[in-house]
Amino acid sequence: MLVGREATFPPALISEINGRSRGVTASYVKVGEVRAAARCPYDVIIDRISHEIPFYRAFLTNAAVGGTRVINDPLWCPTDDKFLNYSLGTSLGLNIPRTALLPQKSYKQGVVAESLQNLEYPLDWERIIGYVGFPAYLKPFDGGGWQKVSKVNSRSELLERYDASGTDCMVLQQSIAWERYLRVYCVGRRDVLVIPYDPVYRRYLSVRGYVAGSLEETVASNTLTINRALGYDFNTVEFAIAGGVPYAIDYMNPAPEVDWYSLGPSYFGWLVTRLSDLAIELALGSTAAVSRWICQDSMA
């Protein structure tokens, strides 16, 4: 495991894998200098931190080239481009909020006006607003963790937030007036856990009957479609439910939250078990292909 500050998930996963006596040993990665084309000593690495540490990302890319299986594969998902995901989701037939990519407000030193001669200027804000509508969210196209996300309700608010975005490339996205909200975990592009979630207070809910029947099946199916298309071994997909229709809001998370104190023992235990299954299968060179999904109600 390649980890950051996490306190509950890494030791739980290592203990679970080592306790199964399957001939697979789990431990923390140790890495110093990395020599070009040097073979990595690990068969499988579960990556929880390289999206924040460029050295780790380069180390994992080299390891993947040499045959190490990395969860998530740094060669398959090299960039955190949410706008690409919105475009891909739309082309896959999923319900995606109306989204527009915006040119940066400002640029790093050395970029001059002549470098930007292909850009439309000024932007046609009336056309953009007419497409996306209000309320809307302005957020980085490559961000995460709700950082630098602003809800805007008018043209003046949009321009104020856009002017403050600096060198960040932003997207403007339609706000969905949701009645229910879900965070769905996917492991190994086959195992799906549907959890009611409150995105305002960022907490998981335990509510019976929150989602069931055909809606639950649609959410699970869409989650599998997204993760198989994007090549994620471990990811979360967030859905806003409006009028019974699930809209995929956020579905690119290279290191999904797995904390005992946030998830609670049932959800946490499910994820530890499924990640252990996947890591052991990959280490032994065989993976199951059967899709399995479960809803929060089934775990109560």
The CATH number of residue 105's host domain is 3.30.1490.20
Residue 162 shares a structural domain with residue 190? no
Residue 35 shares a structural domain with residue 103? no
110-117 own/partner pairs: CB under 8 Å, 24+ apart: none
Three-class secondary structure assignment of 27-43: CCCCCCCCCCCCCCCCC
Structural domain includes residue 186:
yes
- Which pLDDT score is estimated for 84? 85
Structural domain includes residue 255:
yes
Residue 110 shares a structural domain with residue 220? no
Helix (H, G, I), strand (E, B) or coil at 179: coil
- Which pLDDT score is estimated for 281? 95
Q: What is the DSSP string of 38-87?
A: PPPS-SEEEBSSTTT-HHHHHHHHHHHHTT-EEES-TTT--S--HHHHHH
- Which pLDDT score is estimated for 148? 87
Number of folded domains that form the chain: 3
- Which pLDDT score is estimated for 80? 65
Structural domain includes residue 189:
yes
**CATH of residue 189:** 3.30.470.20
Chosen domain end from 118, 147, 174: 174
Structural domain that includes position 134: 98-174
Residue 186 shares a structural domain with residue 281? yes
Structural domain includes residue 147:
yes
- Which pLDDT score is estimated for 153? 97
Residue 57 shares a structural domain with residue 117? no
Residue 127 shares a structural domain with residue 223? no
Cα 133 to Cα 126: distance, rounded to the nearest angstrom: 10
Residue 65 shares a structural domain with residue 105? no
Q: Which residues of 35-48 are buried (b: 16+ CB within 10 A; e: fewer)?
A: eeeeebebebbbbb
C-alpha distances (whole Å) from 200 to each of 142, 154, 178 are 21, 21, 12
Residue 169 shares a structural domain with residue 205? no
Structural domain includes residue 2:
no
Residue 147 shares a structural domain with residue 216? no
Q: Indicate left, alpha or beta for 275 from its phi (over 0: left) and psi (-120 to 50: alpha).
A: alpha
Structural domain includes residue 127:
yes
Beta strand 191-198 with 180-187: parallel, antiparallel or unpaired?
antiparallel
pTM of the model: 0.88
Structural domain includes residue 195:
yes
Residue 204 shares a structural domain with residue 287? yes
Chosen domain end from 71, 86, 118: 71
Other beta carbons within 10 Å of 111: 12
- Which pLDDT score is estimated for 287? 58
Cα 91 to Cα 35: distance, rounded to the nearest angstrom: 41
Residue 288 shares a structural domain with residue 196? yes
Predicted confidence pLDDT, tens digits, the chain (300 residues)? 999 999 999 999 999 999 999 999 999 999 999 998 889 999 999 999 998 899 999 999 999 999 999 999 988 765 567 888 899 899 999 999 999 999 999 998 888 888 889 999 899 999 999 999 999 999 998 866 677 899 999 999 999 999 999 999 999 999 999 999 999 999 999 999 999 999 988 899 988 888 878 999 999 999 999 999 888 999 999 999 999 999 999 888 889 999 999 999 999 999 999 999 999 999 998 655 555 555 555 564
Cα 217 to Cα 227: distance, rounded to the nearest angstrom: 16
Chosen domain end from 36, 71, 106: 71
Residue 193 shares a structural domain with residue 260? yes
Structural domain includes residue 284:
yes
